[in-house]
Amino acid sequence: MKQILEFEKPIVNLKEKIAELKKFTGESDIDLSEEITTLEKRLADLEDDIYGNLKPWQRVQMARHQERPTTLDYIAELFTDFLEFHGDRNFGDDEAIVSGIAYYKGVPVTVIGHQRGKNTKENIRRNFGMPHPEGYRKALRHMKQADKFNRPIICFIDTKGADPGKESEERGQSEAIARNLMEMAGLKVPIVCIVIGEGGSGGALALGVGDLIFMLENSTYSVISPEGAAALLWKDSGLAQKAAESMKITAPDLFELGIIDEIIAEPKGGAHRNIKQQAENIDKVIEKSLVELNKLSVDELLEKRWEKYKQIGDYKEH
């Protein structure tokens, strides 16, 4: 069963109507092709109108869409010979993060990403893509390896946030995230980060301190979920829609705020409509990024990374 979002219903209704007419034409002698053409034209306009003007809350729904492609979907499309490696060498393996090495156009790269499940069973195994500390420590272990063997790092960001639980606190969730932020700052290899779904708070950022940061058109990046923000600010999680608008969490918002480098376009109706097309769009960006970043010396790379983060923020001085 395909998940249909509320705002997509007019499109689905119209599509059904067209299908009905087509079926009717096939079964009877009456020629309705003129009507069908008119309706198809109207459908195209309607799709352009709805998908071309998505509101922040609608983008949130797109980013959370059940069928939205995950890290492993993109790895399959973009890389070859992917070898996944496991474990943080201290506590365990966290399947909310996948991590390993692969070829990207003949060059070995380290690939790391949050991994959601596509069904309940897989989601339980992967903790709904919410990593525990050992997930971040596994990621860091692989980043350090990338640094040692001079491999670029590609990170896919897609999480509601880091796991909020008793054991995560006991094992130092804060420290694990903080350590990644700090260590990523010093890695001597190019880091390219792509937000493919939800970029939820510190749990997303812990894979996000890159040289270049991109967001898919309908992904979000925020300090807290819209529901959480509404509960905190107005004591009413029902105001999530309002929070989504005020908090500036969409790709165009982040581009305007100067935090991300570029928005990666999605196929009409979202990434899940055409994974191959989406992967191609991502591919172009990765290729361009690596060419650009490989030109820099290590000193230049680190200096640029510092400059990038130094300028984020807005304040007045007296």
Partner 1 sequence: MLKDLFNKKKKYASIPSEQSKVDIPEGLMKKCDNCYKIFYRKEMNNNLNVCPNCGHHHQLNAWERIDSLFDKDTFVEWDKGMITSNPLDFPGYEEKMENDRKKTGLNEGVVSGKGFLNGQETAFAVMDSRFRMGSMGSVMGEKIARAVENARKESLPFIIFTASGGARMQEGVLSLMQMSKTSVAIKRFSDAGGLMISVMTHPTTGGVSASFASLGDYNFAEPGALIGFAGRRIIEQTTREKLPDDFQTAEFLFKHGQLDQVIHRHDLKNVLGTLLKMHQKGGNPE
Binding residues for partner 1, rule: CB under 8 A, are: 162, 164-166, 168-175, 177-179, 181-183, 185-186, 201-202, 205-206, 208-209, 221-224, 229, 232-233, 246-249, 253-254, 257, 259, 305-306, 309-310, 312-318
Between CA 161 and CA 56 the distance in angstroms is 19
69 or 202: CB nearest partner 1: 202
Give min distance, CB of 254 to partner 1, in A.
6
In the complex, least distance from residue 109 CB atom to partner 1, rounded to whole angstroms? 22
Q: Are 100 and 128 in contact, with CB atoms under 8 Å apart?
A: no
In this complex, which beta carbon is closest to partner 1, that of residue 87 or of residue 172?
A: 172
130 or 264: CB nearest partner 1: 130
Alpha-carbon gap, residue 209 to 204, rounded angstroms: 10
Residue 143 or 177: which CB sits closer to partner 1?
177
Please report how close the Cβ of residue 318 comes to partner 1 at its closest, in angstroms: 3
Smallest separation, CB 87 to partner 1 (Å) = 19
- Judged by CB, which is closer to partner 1: 75, or 229? 229
CA 232 and chain centroid, separation: 25
Using DSSP bridges, classify how beta strands 153-159 and 191-200 pair: parallel, antiparallel or unpaired: parallel
**Could you tell me if 81 and 64 are in contact, meaning their C-beta atoms sit under 8 angstroms apart?**
no
Q: What residue type is assigned to position 211 of the chain?
A: D
**Smallest separation, CB 241 to partner 1 (Å):** 15
CB of 164 to partner 1, least distance (A): 3
- Residue 265 DSSP symbol: P
Helix (H, G, I), strand (E, B) or coil at 250: strand
In 176-309, the DSSP E strands lie at 191-200, 212-216, 220-222, 262-264
Taking the C-alpha atoms of residue 215 and residue 196, their distance in angstroms, rounded to an integer, is: 6
Closer CB to partner 1, 259 or 275, in the complex: 259
